[in-house]
Amino acid sequence: MIFHVLAVPVHPTRKEITLCAFTQKVYKFCKIMTSKGHTVFHYGHPDSDVPCTQHFNVVSRATYDKVYKKKSWRNFLAQSVKNQVHEEFNKNAAALIQKNKQSENDFVLAFWGFGHQSCCEQLTGSFTVVEPSIGYDSAFAPFKVFESYSQLHKLQFRIHGDSSCPPFTDHVIRPGFYFEDFCYKEKKENYLLFLGRMIDTKGITIAQNLSKAFSIPIKFVGPQNLKNQLKKDNPLAEYIHTVNDNERKELLANAKALIMPSLYAEPCGWSMIEAFISGTPVLSTDWGGLAEYNIHGQTGFRCRSLNEFYHALGIIDNIKPHFCRKYAEENFTIDLVSRMYENYFTHLMHVKEFGLGAIFEKCNFLVK
């Protein structure tokens, strides 16, 4: 198979860019499909370091310096899709993809959603455009892949309402992880962990209340610097702006629990799955992808009120690290996910050749 992978324009595609989930999705997809012997053309930032068949620089360094005032990509830059970087990216990437086309069955993967729409609209000829990991609230591509059924249903209803049958080519492929990148521990330290953006809708107040109610330290790790505010509200709070891979895996493995009290429907929740791999239970709210993947009473607890969070933290030791790990091994391995991807793209090729009837006659979406 031939894949033209569009990266997030603002960031290089590198393993250590953990603050941008979309960049991590691009990196993993390229690594997975390259390792399976497929041709993967990666279009992205000149500082990218990604396993692929061939990388193509898309935007000049001069444009990056002009738009972002020579700030390092190691900082969490603003991700507006309406600036010169994105305009130049979409124009140049479209020209490169057109030049690199290998067959009538080439796939173009728009990981940045509407941020890549302009690029895809400039393509001529036969390409199969896929949005392969939708975690946002709109989509343009004819073929869409989601990381949870809750996000698929949410977007399908938004697009189609309840008056039409949604596309049978929309599909769910759960995220996969390289388990060797994490550390599994059964003995935990006495602190709570919060990973993510430091915004109200991520449930920072709930996390702080849990820490104060149980007099247990909490570590906040995220890009927005709220150190003084967090410490003022809770002397037990520690703020860490960024961490490297080793620091992140140690934080996950040693935490008493990962706290994910999001006040909106998370599309999936990668940090939650990373915690399971590390043997760490998760306290989450009870909607979106969190409700789909956090098994209540087995990998953690799902809560709908502050009192439920209090009760859950009080019995968190009932959750066994080995079960969290076992659950992750059964559901989120790279081997399983790679087979799901290959199945899906094979089915799209059948659809292109034989029509939508091939969905029923030739396709088997089940991976056993």
Q: Which of 130, 141, 107, 131 is nearest to 4 (CA)?
A: 107
Q: Taking residues 35-52, what's their average pLDDT?
A: 96
pLDDT (average), residues 257-276: 94
- Kindly tell me if the per-residue pLDDT of 365 is higher than 50: no
Alpha-carbon gap, residue 170 to 142, rounded angstroms: 9
Q: Of 30-34, 72-76, 154-158, where does mean pLDDT reach its minimum?
A: 72-76
Segments in 180-224 forming alpha helices (H): 204-214
Amino acid code (one letter) for 299 = T
CATH topology match: 2-176+334-361 vs 179-331: yes
DSSP summary character for residue 116: G
Find, among 46, 111, 103, the residue nearest to 73 by Cα. Answer: 46
Q: What mean pLDDT comes out for the span 107-111? A: 97
Checking if the pLDDT of 367 tops 50, the result is no
Mind giving me the DSSP string for 17-59?
Answer: --S-HHHHHHHHHHHHHHHTT-EEEEEE-TT----SSEEEE-S
Q: What is the pTM of this model?
A: 0.90
DSSP code for 112: T
Q: What is the pLDDT of residues 134-153, one digit of tens each?
A: 888 788 998 999 999 999 88
Q: What is the dihedral of CA 86, 88, 91, 94, to 10 degrees?
A: -70
Q: At a CB cut-off of 8 Å and minimum separation 6, what does 307 contact?
A: none
Spatial CB neighbours of 131, under 8 Å, sequence gap ≥ 6: 109, 110, 111, 113, 139, 140, 141, 143, 144, 145
Q: Give CA–CA dist 221/271, Å, rounded.
A: 11
Decide which of 116 and 169 is more confident.
Answer: 116
Burial 18-30, CB ≥16 within 10 A → b, else e? bbbbbbbbbbbbb
Range of weakest confidence among 33-47, 156-170, 295-309, 325-339: 156-170
The domain spans of the chain are: 2-176+334-361, 179-331
Least confident range from 234-243, 312-321, 330-339: namely 234-243
Residues 12 and 85: beta-carbon distance below 8 Å:
no
Q: Mean pLDDT, the chain, as a whole number? A: 90
Helix and strand numbers (H, E) in the chain are 14, 13
Indicate whether 160 pLDDT > 80.
no
Is CATH 3.20.20.80 what the domain over 2-176+334-361 is classified as, yes or no?
no
Please tell us whether the domain made up of 179-331 is placed in CATH 3.40.50.2000: yes
Q: Is the pLDDT of residue 243 over 90?
A: no
Average pLDDT over residues 154-162: 76
Reply yes or no on whether the pLDDT at 76 is more than 50: yes
Q: What per-residue confidence (pLDDT) applies to 310?
A: 98
Beta-sheet strands, E only, within 263-329: 282-285, 300-303
The mean pLDDT value for 52-59 works out to 97
Q: Would you say 146 and 172 are in contact if contact means Cβ atoms under 8 Å apart?
A: yes
pLDDT of residue 26: 96
Q: Which of 140, 137, 144, 138 is nearest to 118 (CA)?
A: 140
Other Cβ atoms within 10 Å of 233 Cβ, number: 15
Give the CA radius of gyration of the chain: 21
